[in-house]
Protein backbone atom coordinates (compact mmCIF):
# COMPACT_ATOMS: atom_id res chain seq x y z
CA UNK A 1 0.00 0.00 0.00
CA UNK A 2 1.51 3.35 -0.99
CA UNK A 3 2.09 5.87 1.74
CA UNK A 4 0.89 9.46 1.70
CA UNK A 5 4.51 10.58 1.45
CA UNK A 6 5.18 8.51 -1.69
CA UNK A 7 1.93 9.71 -3.30
CA UNK A 8 2.89 13.31 -2.56
CA UNK A 9 6.35 12.80 -4.05
CA UNK A 10 4.91 11.17 -7.19
CA UNK A 11 2.40 14.01 -7.59
CA UNK A 12 5.17 16.60 -7.31
CA UNK A 13 7.25 14.69 -9.89
CA UNK A 14 4.24 14.63 -12.22
CA UNK A 15 3.65 18.37 -11.82
CA UNK A 16 7.32 19.14 -12.46
CA UNK A 17 7.17 16.97 -15.58
CA UNK A 18 4.12 18.89 -16.79
CA UNK A 19 5.95 22.16 -16.20
CA UNK A 20 9.02 20.94 -18.05
CA UNK A 21 6.89 19.77 -20.96
CA UNK A 22 5.12 23.11 -21.10
CA UNK A 23 8.43 25.01 -21.14
CA UNK A 24 9.75 22.69 -23.83
CA UNK A 25 6.65 23.10 -25.98
CA UNK A 26 6.76 26.87 -25.71
CA UNK A 27 10.44 27.13 -26.55
CA UNK A 28 10.17 24.67 -29.45
CA UNK A 29 7.23 26.71 -30.73
CA UNK A 30 9.55 29.71 -30.99
CA UNK A 31 12.70 27.95 -32.19
CA UNK A 32 11.27 25.16 -34.33
CA UNK A 33 11.03 21.44 -33.73
CA UNK A 34 14.23 20.39 -35.46
CA UNK A 35 17.40 19.21 -33.83
CA UNK A 36 18.55 22.70 -32.86
CA UNK A 37 15.09 23.71 -31.61
CA UNK A 38 14.89 20.53 -29.54
CA UNK A 39 18.32 21.21 -28.09
CA UNK A 40 17.36 24.74 -27.11
CA UNK A 41 14.02 23.58 -25.70
CA UNK A 42 15.59 20.81 -23.63
CA UNK A 43 18.26 23.22 -22.38
CA UNK A 44 15.70 25.79 -21.30
CA UNK A 45 13.43 23.25 -19.61
CA UNK A 46 16.37 21.55 -17.88
CA UNK A 47 17.86 24.82 -16.66
CA UNK A 48 14.62 26.24 -15.27
CA UNK A 49 13.87 23.05 -13.32
CA UNK A 50 16.75 22.56 -10.91
CA UNK A 51 18.38 19.44 -9.57
CA UNK A 52 17.93 15.83 -10.58
CA UNK A 53 14.47 16.47 -12.02
CA UNK A 54 15.83 19.09 -14.42
CA UNK A 55 18.61 16.74 -15.46
CA UNK A 56 16.12 13.95 -16.07
CA UNK A 57 13.82 16.21 -18.09
CA UNK A 58 16.66 17.50 -20.29
CA UNK A 59 17.95 13.95 -20.83
CA UNK A 60 14.55 12.56 -21.77
CA UNK A 61 13.75 15.48 -24.06
CA UNK A 62 17.10 15.13 -25.80
CA UNK A 63 16.52 11.43 -26.30
CA UNK A 64 13.02 12.05 -27.69
CA UNK A 65 14.33 14.73 -30.06
CA UNK A 66 16.85 12.31 -31.59
CA UNK A 67 14.35 9.47 -31.80
CA UNK A 68 11.80 11.78 -33.42
CA UNK A 69 14.33 13.10 -35.92
CA UNK A 70 15.53 9.61 -36.79
CA UNK A 71 12.05 8.16 -37.33
CA UNK A 72 10.44 11.02 -39.23
CA UNK A 73 10.36 10.29 -42.93
CA UNK A 74 8.70 12.20 -45.74
CA UNK A 75 5.52 10.70 -47.08
CA UNK A 76 6.05 8.57 -50.16
CA UNK A 77 4.41 9.59 -53.42
CA UNK A 78 2.31 6.42 -53.52
CA UNK A 79 0.75 7.06 -50.12
CA UNK A 80 -0.05 10.67 -51.00
CA UNK A 81 -2.31 9.75 -53.93
CA UNK A 82 -5.94 8.79 -53.31
CA UNK A 83 -6.90 5.17 -53.66
CA UNK A 84 -8.69 4.18 -56.85
CA UNK A 85 -11.69 1.91 -56.49
Residue 76 has pLDDT above 80, yes or no: no
Predicted confidence at residue 11, as pLDDT, reads 92
How does residue 8 score in pLDDT terms, banded at 50, 70 and 90? very high
* pLDDT (tens digit per residue) in 33-62: 778 888 888 889 989 998 999 999 999 888
* pLDDT band of 83, cuts 50, 70, 90: low
Domain boundaries, the chain: 12-66
Give me the percent of the chain exceeding a pLDDT of 70.
84
**Distance (Å, whole) CA 9 – CA 32:** 33
Instruction: Check: pTM over 0.85? Answer yes or no.
Output: no
Specify the higher pLDDT residue, 73 or 67. Answer: 67
How wide is the angle at C-alpha 33 spanned by C-alphas 32 and 34, nearest 5°?
A: 100
CB-based contact 14:49 (threshold 8 Å): no
CB contact at 8 A, 44 and 30: no
CA-wise closest residue to 38 among 29, 28, 49? 28
Beta carbons of 37 and 31 less than 8 angstroms apart: yes
Amino acid sequence: MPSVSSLKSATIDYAVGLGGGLLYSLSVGFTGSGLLGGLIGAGIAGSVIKGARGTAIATILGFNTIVGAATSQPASASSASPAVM
